[in-house]
Amino acid sequence: MDGLTFDIPPARVGGPLPRRADPYTRIAVIGMGSWGTALAAVAASAGCDVRLWGRRDSLARTLRDTSQNPDHLPGIDLPAGLHPTSDLSAALDGAEAVLLVTPSHTLRDMARAMKPHLAEGVPIALCCKGIERGTGFLLSHVVEEELPGHPVGALSGPTFARETALGHPTAATVAFPFRHHDRLAPERAPAARLALTMQTQAFRPYVSDDLVGVEVGGAVKNVIAIACGMMTGAGFAENTRAALITRGMDEMKALAEALGGKRETVTGLAGAGDLTLTCSSTTSRNMSLGTQLGKGIPRDACFGGKPTVVEGEVNAISVVDLARRVGVEMPICEAVHAVLHEGAPLTETFQALWMRPIEGEPRALDITLHPYEGDPA
CATH number at residue 318: 1.10.1040.10
Q: What pLDDT does 3 receive?
A: 43
Under a CB-based contact definition with an 8 Å cutoff, are residues 29 and 6 in contact? no
- In contact, 286 and 226? CB cutoff 8 Å: yes
Domain final residue pick, 186, 209, 232: 209
195 and 104 within one domain: yes
3-state secondary structure of 309: coil
Q: What is the pLDDT along the chain (377 residues), one digit of tens a residue?
A: 444 444 444 444 444 445 677 899 999 999 999 999 999 999 999 999 999 999 999 999 999 999 999 999 999 999 999 999 999 999 999 999 999 999 999 999 999 999 999 999 999 999 999 999 999 999 999 999 999 999 999 999 999 999 999 999 999 999 999 988 888 888 889 999 999 999 999 999 999 999 999 999 999 999 999 999 999 999 999 999 999 999 999 999 999 999 999 999 999 999 999 999 999 999 999 999 999 999 999 999 999 999 998 999 999 999 999 999 999 999 999 999 999 999 999 999 999 999 999 999 877 888 888 876 655 44
Residues 229 and 97 in one domain: no
Residues 247 and 136 in one domain: no
| Options 115, 129, 221, 306, the catalytic residue | 221
Q: Are residues 237 and 311 both part of a single domain?
A: yes
Helical spans, DSSP H, in the chain: 10-13, 34-45, 57-66, 88-92, 107-114, 139-146, 161-165, 180-184, 190-198, 211-233, 238-258, 274-278, 285-294, 311-326, 331-341, 346-354
117 shares a domain with 41: yes
Q: What is the signed CA dihedral for 174, 161, 196, 120, rounded to 10 degrees?
A: 70
The whole-number pLDDT of residue 376 equals 45
Based on the fold, state whether residues 191 and 235 are members of the same structural domain: no
**Whether residues 202 and 238 fall in one domain:** no
Distance CA 357, CA 366 (A): 12
Domain contains 371: no
Q: Tell me, what amino acid is at 172?
A: A
Q: Residue 276: its pLDDT value, please? A: 96
Residue 376: inside a domain: no
Q: In sequence order, what DSSP letters do the residues of 316-350 get, joined into one string?
A: HHHHHHHHHHHT---HHHHHHHHHHHS---HHHHH
Residue 346 and residue 227 share a domain = yes
State which residues form the domain around 169.
4-209
- Answer yes or no: do 269 and 158 share one domain: no
Let me know if 129 is a catalytic residue.
no
Domain tally, the chain? 2
Dihedral sign of CA atoms 182, 188, 193, 194 in order = negative
- Angle at which helices 331-341 and 211-233 cross, to 10°: 60
Looking at the fold, whether 199 and 255 belong to one and the same domain comes out as no
